[in-house]
Structure 1
Amino acid sequence: MSHYLLVHGAWEESRAWEDVTPVLEQSGHRVTALDLPGHGANMQPIADMNMGNYIKTVIDAINDIGEPVVLVAHSMSGSVVSQVAEQVPEKIERLIYVAAFLLETGGTVLEAMQSDSGEFLPSIIFSEDGSYATLPEETLRNAGFHDVSEQVIQRFLPLIVEKQSTEPFMSPVAMTAEKFGTVKKTYIRTTIDRVTTPDLQDRMIENWKVEQVHNLVSGHFPAFSVPQKLAELML
């Protein structure tokens, strides 16, 4: 059996995985869902919500677990786990990207979003100094939660972080074929996604060798809309 380490995306927190975790556990796996700095139970100042601290938090969690993990990323955290895998490839059994940013070396999440035709980026509200961004509820509903039931939306809306640091979106990633490239990868492609559109996901899948690609009829938050199906694809 494997130990799954689940990493949430931007504006999210560890409880975003709470409907996925039981399915993995029922299959006999161990599961840890962590909060990145500035999210959930790990609240930090905006300045500490940066890529370096995100990466360190994940590596620390892997070291605490003490065995190789299946490292799962949603959305923005794809850029985080890729760089974790570059630093500790021997500690990762497999990487799973859930509608997540699988970038080329030197790329940024923001550049990938700017290259996309989705309706999400233009709706984000940036602070005057550009240090953080907020998501209007209307944007979440229209771009992110369009296939999520109202009952589930009401459960997860309170978990959304008000202010998301922009630094991780603008931080270039750095990976090599010799390290990151050796880690097995699975991509779960969300086919009705309005945040990372299928076209953007297809382009990112081409950036690196991906052993498995699964199509999932879901918007950007399959952990909310179809958690059972998502978990089954992660097994």
Structure 2
Amino acid sequence: MTRFVFVPGAGSDSWFWHLVTPRLEAAGHDVLAVDLPWADERAGLPEYVDVIVEAIRAAEAASSDAPPQSPVLVAQSMGAFPAVMVCERLPVAELVLVAPMIPAPGESAGTWWENTGQGAAMRAFAREEGRDPDAPFDEVEVFLHDLPAALVAEGAEHEGTVPADVPFASVWTAERWPDVPTRVIAGRYDRLFPLDFVRRMSRERLGVEPAVIDTGHMTALVRPDQLAELLLVP
């Protein structure tokens, strides 16, 4: 049995993983999906790390009759920032970053966008798809374009929380990437973090080639079967 710990992206919650969770549980694994206090103006990345670490320790205590194990930490989008910091606090068997903001030591989530050239990559992909690269940001067009209508309606009941400014100002104060096996999973049609952009970031910052799923940014909702399959095959 493997314990998978899911970390959501900015403004999202544990519901984001609700289609992947039963697939992993059916395969005999344990799943812990964490909620983060995105709207709390007093909470930054260190506080998010505390929440994740405490949730993992509580799960370990609840299963004290089982042999201790290091979890597989799976993080979506901005969730990569606190997830990589958790690896400095607890033993982690593997870190899996899905449609991620891949941080660099000494970087904040706020400076990441300009540092990586995300804006230019996003506009280039919009032109490639025949969309207006200078159109105002549209959450539906960027995030929900490939979600089934039923999921869009269900997701409306779990409306995303507008993240506070604090986590974007928090800096990952580390000298290097933690010594943890790391994988990246990218969406072929991700309009926020286009595939070529994620490939470049994965190679430059981690030296790894991302696995690719035919989806946009919301991989766990659009292709839960494929994502579960990738998680189950190291």
Match for residue 154 of structure 2? 155
SS at match of 2:185: strand
Query: Between Structure 1 and Structure 2, how many residues are aligned?
Result: 206
Deviation at 1:169?
A: 2.0
Match for residue 108 of structure 2? 108
Measured against aligned partners, the alpha-carbon deviations of 1:121-142 in whole angstroms (never above 9, x if no partner) come to: xxxxxxxxxxxxxxxxx82210
SS at match of 1:48: coil
Please give the alpha-carbon distance, in whole angstroms, between the structure 2 residues aligned to 1:199 and 1:171: 27
Q: Report the residue type matching 1:80 in the other structure.
A: P
Match for residue 217 of structure 2? 220
Match for residue 182 of structure 2? 185
Which one of 26, 47, 54 corresponds to residue 53 of structure 1? Answer: 47
The percentage of aligned residue pairs carrying the same residue is 27
Please give the alpha-carbon distance, in whole angstroms, between the structure 1 residues aligned to 2:81 and 2:108: 8
Q: Is the 8 A contact 1:181 1:209 kept in 2?
A: no
Please give the alpha-carbon distance, in whole angstroms, between the structure 2 residues aligned to 1:162 and 1:183: 30
Query: Which region of structure 1 is more displaced relative to structure 2, 221-230 or 195-204?
Result: 195-204
Match for residue 79 of structure 2? 77
SS at match of 1:232: helix
Please give the alpha-carbon distance, in whole angstroms, between the structure 2 residues aligned to 1:69 and 1:209: 23
**Is 2:202 the partner of 1:198?**
no
Please give the alpha-carbon distance, in whole angstroms, between the structure 2 residues aligned to 1:100 and 1:188: 8
Q: 1:106-185 maps to which residues of 2 (within 5 A)?
A: 106-114=106-114, 115-116=117-118, 117=120, 118=122, 139-177=138-176, 180-185=177-182
SS at match of 1:182: coil
Q: Is the 8 A contact 1:2 1:70 kept in 2?
A: yes
Deviation at 1:209?
A: 4.1
Q: Is the 8 A contact 1:37 1:48 kept in 2?
A: no
SS at match of 2:88: helix
Match for residue 206 of structure 2? 208
Measured against aligned partners, the alpha-carbon deviations of 1:34-56 in whole angstroms (never above 9, x if no partner) come to: 11124xxxxxx632332121011
Please give the alpha-carbon distance, in whole angstroms, between the structure 2 residues aligned to 1:195 and 1:49: 25
Please give the alpha-carbon distance, in whole angstroms, between the structure 2 residues aligned to 1:69 and 1:51: 20
SS at match of 1:215: strand
Q: Is the 8 A contact 1:82 1:102 kept in 2?
A: no
Deviation at 1:208?
A: 2.1
Match for residue 16 of structure 2? 16
Q: TM-score if structure 1 supplies the norm length? A: 0.81
Q: Report the residue type matching 1:208 in the other structure.
A: L
Measured against aligned partners, the alpha-carbon deviations of 1:168-209 in whole angstroms (never above 9, x if no partner) come to: 2232213344xx431011110111111122233123212124
Deviation at 1:214?
A: 0.9
C-alpha RMSD of matched pairs (Å): 1.8
The change in CA–CA distance for 1:162 and 1:33 in structure 2 (over 3 A counts) is closer
Q: Is the 8 A contact 2:106 2:175 kept in 1?
A: no
Please give the alpha-carbon distance, in whole angstroms, between the structure 1 residues aligned to 2:206 and 2:92: 17
Q: 1:62-101 maps to which residues of 2 (within 5 A)?
A: 62-66=56-60, 67-88=69-90, 91-101=91-101
Q: Is the 8 A contact 1:13 1:160 kept in 2?
A: no
Measured against aligned partners, the alpha-carbon deviations of 1:46-102 in whole angstroms (never above 9, x if no partner) come to: 3233212101111111222323110010001101101111222xx211000001122
Q: Report the residue type matching 1:21 in the other structure.
A: T
Greater than 3 Å deviation, 4+ residue runs: none
SS at match of 2:178: helix
